[in-house]
Amino acid sequence: MKVKPANRTNTVEEYYFSQKLAEIDRMRKAGADVINLGIGSPDQPPSPGTIRALIDEAMKPTSHGYQSYKGIALLRQRFAEWYKKYFNVGLDPDKEILLLMGSKEGIMHISMAFVNPGDEVLVPDPGYPTYTSVTNLVGGVVRRYELDENKGWLPDLDTLEKSNLEKVKVMWVNYPHMPTGTKASKELYEKLVDFATRHNLLLVNDNPYNFIQNKDYHSILEVDGAMETALELNSLSKSHNMAGWRIGMVAGHSEYINNILKVKSNMDSGMFLAMQVAAAEALNNPESWYESVNEVYSVRRKIVEEIMDTLGCTCNKDQAGLFVWGRIPSDTAGVEEFIEDILRKTNVFITPGFIFGEKGRRYIRISLCASEERLAEAKDRLTEYKNNL
């Protein structure tokens, strides 16, 4: 190349799933019937009212222009009402909520707004890889804090207290946790807010999984004092079956929101009005709608747990979220070789835990976003695979 890319591109690689989906696509084009149990993209549709609202608004000739960088008042108000109803958190929709094109966008915006080159950022291991890649892109220094199965996949704050935290600016947390499915609790959030307050950190909770296989709803913003030191990301991708719509939000103190808006307003020109109106309708879904979605996941989860048993993996039966996380057998050499052998011999793709960090190297993650029929077919293939070992 005549023009060299920016040095920051050397700090990241193409997203693992981007590469793997391309490989799966090549396999399918070659005639393989690949069952993808890797991606957490809900295959159930949004509520009928959500889709009707999208269509109705899109039919209006006045709905196709630029929109507010903050998002429309209706959707911010509905998010505020949703937070009050399910989390008992009062938010000012005008000052304390900023709409996002998905919460993944928010990870970048928050990092650009608060992390200077050289600032340290606490990132969970295992955890969502984007926390690491975005920190690297903005010039921050990644400091991983380990989550361990023997400690319930919760942050070891006592160990962190003993370390030098002077350069730490931001701490990422994610409960209910991906990939382990560990649920949130108010006690956990109280400890985290206290920790962040005492060490003058910006605590950011990424919270898209509360409504999936879970009814004990929690927000980090329900803790006294949290608004002074914490932000929370949320999204309709997982909870409302709207992953491709790219609709999320960040909530927190108005000063934090204003600084994020400085970044965001220079990077996009707002979301399509019809999608925002439809999202507002989605937030009005009755609790029975969430229950009906979770009934489907519950049936699928039983099959996935049977798949884990078939492969000799162990898993906690009390996980939240779109996945089941399991530990591979002790006599298995390595998780990458394990899942690649499975893909090659059965055409079933399972996510290897190493992509989430070093603490995931003995684990796999299986998505619930496949039909019962495809999960049953995967189970049959994997049973044959085990029998032939």
Give the mean model confidence (pLDDT) for residues 115-135.
97
| 7-45+287-387 and 62-282 in the same fold | no
- Both tokens assigned to 363: 């684990």
Q: Does residue 289 surpass a pLDDT of 90?
A: yes
Nearest to 249 by CA among 97, 78, 50: 97
pLDDT score recorded for residue 12: 84
Q: What percent of the chain has pLDDT over 90?
A: 94
Q: Does residue 322 surpass a pLDDT of 70?
A: yes
**Which of the four pLDDT bands, split at 50, 70 and 90, describes residue 144?**
very high
Q: C-alpha distances in angstroms, 56 versus 45, 60, 61, 78?
A: 18, 7, 11, 19
Average pLDDT over the chain reads 96
d(CA 313, CA 339): 12
Q: Does residue 167 surpass a pLDDT of 70?
A: yes
Q: Does residue 227 surpass a pLDDT of 70?
A: yes
Q: For domain 7-45+287-387, is the CATH number 1.20.1050.10?
A: no
Q: Does residue 383 surpass a pLDDT of 70?
A: yes
Residue 215 neighbours by CB distance under 10 Å: 12
- How far is residue 325 CA from its own chain's centroid? 14
pTM of the prediction?
A: 0.95
State which amino acid sits at residue 12. V
How does pLDDT run across 47-100, given as a tens digit for each residue?
Answer: 999 999 999 999 999 999 999 999 999 999 999 999 999 999 999 999 999 999
Nearest to 369 by CA among 237, 196, 197, 200: 237
pLDDT score recorded for residue 11: 87
**Which of the four pLDDT bands, split at 50, 70 and 90, describes residue 214?**
very high
d(CA 82, CA 280): 10
Give the mean model confidence (pLDDT) for residues 217-234.
98
pLDDT score recorded for residue 39: 86
State which amino acid sits at residue 111. S
Range with lowest mean pLDDT among 18-27, 120-129, 266-275: 18-27
Residue spans per domain, the chain: 7-45+287-387, 62-282
CATH class entry, domain 62-282: alpha beta
Strands 168-173 and 141-146, sheet pairing: unpaired
Instruction: Compute the Cα dihedral for 104, 105, 107, 108 and give only its sign.
Output: positive
How does pLDDT run across 8-24, given as a tens digit for each residue?
Answer: 988 888 778 888 889 99
Q: Does residue 204 surpass a pLDDT of 80?
A: yes
Q: Does residue 333 surpass a pLDDT of 90?
A: no
d(CA 107, CA 112): 9
**Which of the four pLDDT bands, split at 50, 70 and 90, describes residue 1?**
low
d(CA 20, CA 201): 35
d(CA 40, CA 71): 26
